[in-house]
Structure 1
Amino acid sequence: MMTATDKMPSARPEDYLSAAEYVDSDSPEVRDFTAAALRNLAPDASDTDKAICLFDAVRDGLRYDPFTFPLTADGYRASVIAKSETGFCVPKAILLAACLRAAGIPAALGFADVRNHLNTPKLANLMETDLFIYHGYVQLWLDGKSYKVTPAFNTELCDRFGVKPLVFDGKSDALFHEFNKSDQRHMEYVNDRGLFQDIPIDQFLSDFKKTYPKLEAYNLERVATENGVKDTDKFSAP
């Protein structure tokens, strides 16, 4: 098992099949989520059919929520995420990568910095920027070809905000929410951080805390309120 800080030097599919500390594809929770997503497929279903079902299950099974995010490393384990009702792009990418590996499909975690040109006022106020660092996506391999997909925005949310939902058809990428339904600029990728076998958790949490201090404080207060805890320092990211 590789550590979370090991960025792969090449995009070889065989490097992205095994379980990792946070992409724990061998956990019972991930295997149960995967089995439930694939339950209606025939026993001899192709990897492409499995990948499509898993993409749909993660995209719509967890409601997208950019306001709340785990403050500790354990919240980014696929086995924990599989039991959640909501998540933002990073946890959802981790879960999809884990489910794909559990189904025998090579899947790498990818991270990129993107600009959201249609940010909501509330989120923009908390983020204090339109730059989303570590936007999570997944690169998977089917029949010798690679595809990049992001399962972040659930269909219901897309319909509500007039954004075209991403659909993975097993033949092309499902990565860019470039424009909304009115053809306004929506999302722009500005920096690709590369592919990883597992999330570089320490760097990720540290960078998030530095980049979004107001959003961090919002979540510290939220967690403290939910747990009735006064000393919110115990929830701080490392």
Structure 2
Amino acid sequence: MSKEKDPQDFLAPSYYFDHEHPRVRAFIEESVGDAVDAVERAVKLYYAVRDGIRYDPYRFYMRKEYFTASRTLIEGAAYCVPKANLLTAVARGAGIPARVGFADVRNHLSTERLRQLVGGDVYRWHGYVAMHLEGRWVKATPAFNLQMCERFDVHPLEFDGRNDSLMHPYNARDERHMEYVKERGTFDDFPFEALVADMWEHHPGLVEAAEADLKGDFEHEAMVDR
């Protein structure tokens, strides 16, 4: 039986969780302010990532640099995985042990164009973050920013640092929103090679569209589809 790792093992920077980068350090300091309590710091960082980085599923670049925390801050927009990597990095940089986690989900609130590129409504490797707070691991999903939620009429995910904050199963009109169909677990570092292999196998249309720079306006599409 393997021994559970010490939460302090999940504070170190990595290529993807590059919290020693000046841009990432500045983001942490600006977001956390004078907060001393770990839960308060975690909550502030969650909202800074959720709403400070616009969700854009068409930025589906399968290149290593696009999964680093610093690059996500430079871009200002990303899909769920780079946003999860960013929250993992800034949590670690603020002294909060954090791991990145993934699950396959069925998303009922997509757009017609996105569904065609994805090849259906099951999205592999949806990203979330597990932070060690008050002696336990708490999950948070910073993917969907407030403005995007308003476009889709979905309640934005709130996070109090003490309870898991995962995607809602229903939207504001009690229609199906998100189903978790496969839990992949949490990782010490970002599993780049495994994710990229699955993306090319299951979502080649989305990868090819991103690499060809065929961007879309996801929020506008949501309004048109509705």
1:68-110 C-alpha deviation (Å, 9 max, x unpaired): 2223111111121122211111000000000000000000000
1:37-56 map, 5 Å: 37-39=31-33, 41-42=34-35, 45-56=36-47
Superposition CA RMSD, Å:
1.8
- Tell me if structure 2 keeps the 8 A contact 1:20–1:197: no
User: Does 2:100 correspond to 1:106?
Assistant: no
- Give 1:124 shift: 0.4
1:12-34 C-alpha deviation (Å, 9 max, x unpaired): 42221111221122222211111
- Number of the residue aligned with 2:156: 165
**Matching residue's letter, 1:148:** K
- Number of the residue aligned with 1:26: 20
**Matching residue's letter, 1:21:** Y
- Tell me if structure 1 keeps the 8 A contact 2:133–2:162: no
Count the aligned residue pairs. Answer: 214
1:73-84 map, 5 Å: 73-84=64-75
- Give 1:220 shift: 1.9
In 1, Cα distance between the equivalents of 2:150 and 2:47?
15
Which sections of structure 2, spanning at least 5 residues, go unmatched?
216-226
**Matching residue's letter, 1:23:** F
User: Does 2:131 correspond to 1:136?
Assistant: no
User: Does 2:51 correspond to 1:60?
Assistant: yes
* Secondary structure of the structure 1 residue equivalent to 2:213: helix
1:163-214 C-alpha deviation (Å, 9 max, x unpaired): 0100101221111221100111100111111111111111111211121111
Aligned counterpart for 1:15 among listed residues 9, 14, 17:
9
Provide closer, same or farther for how the CA distance between residues 92 and 105 of structure 1 changes in structure 2, counting only shifts above 3 A. Answer: same
**Matching residue's letter, 2:45:** L
TM-score (normalizing by structure 1): 0.85
- Number of the residue aligned with 1:233: none
Which sections of structure 1, spanning at least 5 residues, go unmatched?
1-7, 225-238
Aligned counterpart for 1:193 among listed residues 159, 179, 184:
184
Following TM superposition, the consecutive aligned residue runs of length 4 or more in structure 1 with deviations greater than 6 angstroms are none
TM-score (normalizing by structure 2): 0.89
- Give 1:11 shift: 6.2
- Tell me if structure 2 keeps the 8 A contact 1:11–1:195: no
